[in-house]
Amino acid sequence: MMIQEGQILDERYEIDSLIGQGGMSFVYRATDLKMGRAVAIKVLKEEYCEDQDFIRKFQNEAQAAAKLNHPNIVAVYDIIDNHDKKMHYIVMELVEGITLKTYIQRRGRMDSKEAIAIALQVIGGIEQAHKNGIVHRDIKPQNMIVSSDGTVKVADFGIARAATQQTVNTTVMGSVHYISPEQAKSGQADERSDIYSFGCTLYEMLTGKVPYDGGTSVSVVFAHLENQIPRVRDLIPDVYPALDMAVFKCMQKSPRRRYQHIDELGDDLQKALKDPSGTFLKGRIPEDLNETKVISPSELEDIKSMQQNSDKSGMGSAAGQNSTDSIGDHNNTADQTIILNRTIAIACGVCIFILILVISKNIFNFFQQANAPLETAAATEVSEEEATTEVNITISALETRIQGIIGLTVDEAEDELSEYNIHIVSSDEEYSDRYNEGVIISYPELNYSSGDTINVTVSKGAQTIIFYDRNNPYDLTSLHATKFSDLETKLKDRDIPYSVIESYSDTVPAGYVISTNNPDSSGANLEIVVSAGLNENMVTVPDLKNFTEQDAITALTLAELLPGNISYLPDESAEEGTVMTQSVRANTVVPKGTAISFSVSAGPEGEASVKVADTEAKASTDTDDEYWYSSINTAVQLGTGATPGANNTMLVSIRLRQDIDGEEHYKTLQEARSYEIGTELQVVFPRIKGTAGVQVGVVEVVDASTDTVIASFECAFTPEKQ
């Protein structure tokens, strides 16, 4: 359904312009009048709005996609169903940029580093979707958007599934250059199908060409099913060998031979930046058997049917071409048709010959083993692991769908397999960092029949406990609200070793977590700092602003603090005799006896002067058996992140600096250690021993290789009797 510019949908979304269109929808740029932001609106084409079953599936998948929240996924804001006007549309994040397909066409091809940088962003988005049980099913450069700031976002998560369930032909033929072999044969897909399609995308990024091409959609499908897997290195000799091998593994014909999870590919690409030669991949890349797979007559008919449907759907656009182009292409099309017919005839002949041999062999075996039960096989193939031995494998229609239950809840899996009367029973639970709590993560790989019961293992949630966002280490709000006893239970359930350090805190209640030395429980030597409550030797600085001088001194005395130097400054705005500023910010926790200086307004015509505090008496009471202590608990970001090809580590030391009799004195708190750039360093020292009688000091975090101060924190010291 075409929408006019300026039209307002549901009294909220004003259409600005048509951005583009695809097989299912029109995409418009619009303005959200309620939120005051630009959005993209994808409106389903009219032919899809007539099918209520499709609409229901489309809604379910779009709602699932709307739950995804990741910087590399195009966000879904709203899903609108206006049945009266037969209008169904999705409101999405508007990403200003171009598709990755256009970017590749403009660049020609990318070098290894750039391709890895883009791939890692895409992998992050796909991994988030897979963890939520969503398989894209239509991964291709056209569904990836490169924004103006270099961020790459993946679009149409979940929507491709609804389209696939509705009509395999449309989806298959529209994305034929990136389709996995199992999608081409059965229309079914799982996580590994997305990995295959992304492997094709990576191949195109590195070479500027699609891995398989041909004059017709059917010829491209044949290539995905039968042709040798192309190698990037054959076209681009200077490609990282590790990257070439990773792409090769993604594009294996058999799903079992690919990466089983997208994050495994991400790990290898990260390693490829440090080890381009790919030594870490030795023994992990499948051998290319380059076997020729025979297409069954039924599969051949399915592919021919898809081609016919594709040709019919393309007639409208073909009719719009001028007659001169049509006449010029006639002879070429006829030649292609003759070649295709000959290919099909040869393939059919080979299939018939093989079927005769198989049937003959089965009859011979039947008479040889009269007592053996006769099994009907839907198809047979040679095991890839034992290519030299002939093995018959029974493959039912059910097995082509069963992998789809991974990532679903038990109820969702039963609904998915309802037509087979399959029952799903949760027989075990395990922690899983790959799948969310409550979804199926594994089941016995057996041959199942209608009416069977499948015992599945369900995720108990993440094995790794996230303490705080490593990209925002200064926000520890949720960590400070975590009771250590609750966290301890989780750690023991997961058999995660840890150690505990107690520290005083003025902001975190006793028994709650102050900080950890790692952002999550996956790091080694986990240390957890737990609050012991407020130190009895620490007090909170009162707010002195607008107090009179005498009231300020009284407030400090009641708080067990000392009045420091008092400055009198002329000021036209503050009332004469009232406090304007103070040396230590209000509500800061400092040791008892700390001197707090403040300034007092002398009026608009007053003179500037200073009353120096008498602290000599206190200093003289200090004895040799008295020591001064402070503490610190904070985090420091070490750089902005890793850069490809650069040295991504730095040596960091921590020291205490104090001014003693006009000279700077240093004390090492931590010797130089190596850290990765981009991570955070937890600066936690519950008891720092300073010089007796010196009330302040500065803790410095230092780049030891250049002796440059990265960060510094002022600390107040208080005496303690020994």
Give the model confidence (pLDDT) of 605-642 as tens digits.
888 888 887 654 444 344 445 678 888 888 888 876 54
**What is the chain's percent helix, strand, coil content, to nearest 5?**
35, 25, 40
Give residue 656's pLDDT.
92
Give residue 305's pLDDT.
60
Whole-angstrom distance, CA of residue 153 vs CA of residue 147: 8
> Please, are residues 458 and 436 in contact by the beta-carbon 8 Å criterion?
no
- pLDDT band of residue 417 (cuts 50, 70, 90) is confident
Whole-angstrom distance, CA of residue 222 vs CA of residue 230: 14
User: What's the gap between Cα 152 and its chain centre?
Assistant: 12
Give the model confidence (pLDDT) of 89-114 as tens digits.
889 899 888 889 989 988 889 999 99
Q: Note the residue count of the chain.
A: 722
Whole-angstrom distance, CA of residue 520 vs CA of residue 526: 9
Give residue 239's pLDDT.
94
Task: State yes or no: pLDDT of 541 exceeds 80.
Answer: yes
Mean pLDDT throughout 632-660? 75
**Range ranked top by mean pLDDT from 74-78, 140-144, 198-202, 671-675:** 198-202
Give the CATH fold of the 626-721 domain: Immunoglobulin-like (2.60.40)
Is 138 in the active site? yes
Residue where the block lists tokens 């009045």: 563
Q: What are phi and psi of 201, to 5 degrees?
A: -65, -45
Going by C-beta distance under 8 Å and a sequence separation of 6 or more, which residues neighbour residue 635? 473, 474, 476, 515, 680, 681, 682, 683
Whole-angstrom distance, CA of residue 165 vs CA of residue 182: 15
Task: State yes or no: pLDDT of 292 exceeds 60.
Answer: no
Nearest-5° Cα angle at 201, 130 to 384? 75
The Cβ-side half-sphere exposure at 506, using a 13 Å CA radius, reads 13
Sheet containing strand 527-531, strands side by side: 499-503, 527-531, 513-516
- pLDDT band of residue 339 (cuts 50, 70, 90) is low
Kindly give the pairing relationship between strand 595-601 and strand 562-569: parallel
Task: State yes or no: pLDDT of 129 exceeds 70.
Answer: yes
The helix or strand, by DSSP H or E, that contains position 552, with its residue range, turns out to be: helix 549-558
Mean pLDDT throughout 51-78? 78
Task: State yes or no: pLDDT of 644 exceeds 80.
Answer: no
Give the model confidence (pLDDT) of 381-411 as tens digits.
333 333 332 323 233 344 444 546 888 888 8
Task: State yes or no: pLDDT of 140 exceeds 60.
Answer: yes
Give residue 88's pLDDT.
85
User: Homologous superfamily of 98-290 in CATH?
Assistant: Transferase(Phosphotransferase) domain 1 (1.10.510.10)
Three-state DSSP state, 331: helix
Give residue 694's pLDDT.
86
For 8-93, CATH number out of 3.50.30.30, 3.40.50.300, 3.90.1150.200, 3.30.200.20 equals 3.30.200.20
Q: Do domains 399-459 and 538-620 have the same CATH topology?
A: yes
Mean pLDDT, all residues of the chain = 78
Give residue 308's pLDDT.
56
Whole-angstrom distance, CA of residue 66 vs CA of residue 134: 11
* The residue type at 659: D
**Range ranked top by mean pLDDT from 129-138, 280-289, 485-494:** 485-494
Residue where the block lists tokens 């071409």: 321
Give residue 1's pLDDT.
57
Give the model confidence (pLDDT) of 341-391 as tens digits.
666 767 777 677 777 766 666 665 544 444 433 333 233 233 333 333 232
Three-state DSSP state, 214: coil
Give residue 148's pLDDT.
79
The helix or strand, by DSSP H or E, that contains position 515, with its residue range, turns out to be: strand 513-516
Whole-angstrom distance, CA of residue 348 vs CA of residue 365: 26
Question: SS in 3 state form for 566-585?
Answer: EEEECCCCCCCCEEEEECCC
* 477-531 has CATH 3.30.10.20 classification: yes
> Please, are residues 5 and 33 in contact by the beta-carbon 8 Å criterion?
no
> Please, are residues 152 and 139 in contact by the beta-carbon 8 Å criterion?
no
Alpha-carbon Rg for the chain, nearest whole angstrom, is: 35
Mean pLDDT throughout 2-28? 84
Q: What share of the chain in percent tops pLDDT 70?
A: 77
Residue ranges per domain, the chain? 8-93, 98-290, 399-459, 477-531, 538-620, 626-721
Indicate if the alpha-carbon torsion angle 489, 491, 492, 493 is positive or negative: positive
Give residue 63's pLDDT.
75
Mean pLDDT throughout 2-15? 88
Q: What is the dihedral of CA 314, 315, 320, 324, to 10 degrees?
A: 110
Q: Of 144-158, 167-181, 215-229, 451-465, give the lowest mean pLDDT range.
A: 167-181
User: What's the gap between Cα 204 and its chain centre?
Assistant: 23
Task: State yes or no: pLDDT of 592 exceeds 70.
Answer: yes
Sheet containing strand 144-147, strands side by side: 97-99, 144-147, 152-154
Query: What class, spelled out in words, does domain 538-620 have in CATH?
Result: alpha beta
Task: State yes or no: pLDDT of 315 exceeds 70.
Answer: no
Task: State yes or no: pLDDT of 163 exceeds 60.
Answer: no
> Please, are residues 716 and 594 in contact by the beta-carbon 8 Å criterion?
yes
Q: Which residues pair with 716 in a beta bridge?
A: 696
Task: State yes or no: pLDDT of 316 exceeds 50.
Answer: no
Q: Which residues pair with 165 in a beta bridge?
A: none
Task: State yes or no: pLDDT of 206 exceeds 90.
Answer: yes
Whole-angstrom distance, CA of residue 87 vs CA of residue 15: 14
CATH number attached to the domain at 399-459 = 3.30.10.20
Give residue 370's pLDDT.
41
> Please, are residues 537 and 591 in contact by the beta-carbon 8 Å criterion?
yes
> Please, are residues 538 and 719 in contact by the beta-carbon 8 Å criterion?
no
Helices (H) and strands (E) in the chain, counts: 21, 28
Give residue 211's pLDDT.
95
User: Exposed (0-12), middle (13-18) or buried (19+): which is 126, by Cβ within 10 Å?
Assistant: buried
Give residue 62's pLDDT.
73
> Please, are residues 306 and 298 in contact by the beta-carbon 8 Å criterion?
no
Q: What is the DSSP string of 111-149?
A: -HHHHHHHHHHHHHHHHHHHHTT---S--SGGGEEEETT
> Please, are residues 158 and 134 in contact by the beta-carbon 8 Å criterion?
yes
Mean pLDDT throughout 530-542? 80
Whole-angstrom distance, CA of residue 390 vs CA of residue 133: 36
> Which among 581, 585, 589 has a CA at the least distance from the CA of 718?
589
Give the model confidence (pLDDT) of 434-477 as tens digits.
788 898 988 887 777 778 899 999 999 888 898 888 777 778 88
Give residue 488's pLDDT.
92
Q: Of 12-21, 108-117, 501-510, 613-622, give the lowest mean pLDDT range.
A: 613-622
More confident residue, 46 or 257: 257
Which of 16, 32, 51, 138 is catalytic? The answer is: 138
Task: State yes or no: pLDDT of 646 exceeds 60.
Answer: no
Provide the strand spans (E) within 331-479.
423-430, 440-442, 453-459
Three-state DSSP state, 250: helix
Whole-angstrom distance, CA of residue 413 vs CA of residue 133: 11
More confident residue, 491 or 156: 491
A 10 A CB-CB count for 7 gives 11
Give residue 201's pLDDT.
96
> Which among 119, 123, 127 has a CA at the least distance from the CA of 100?
119
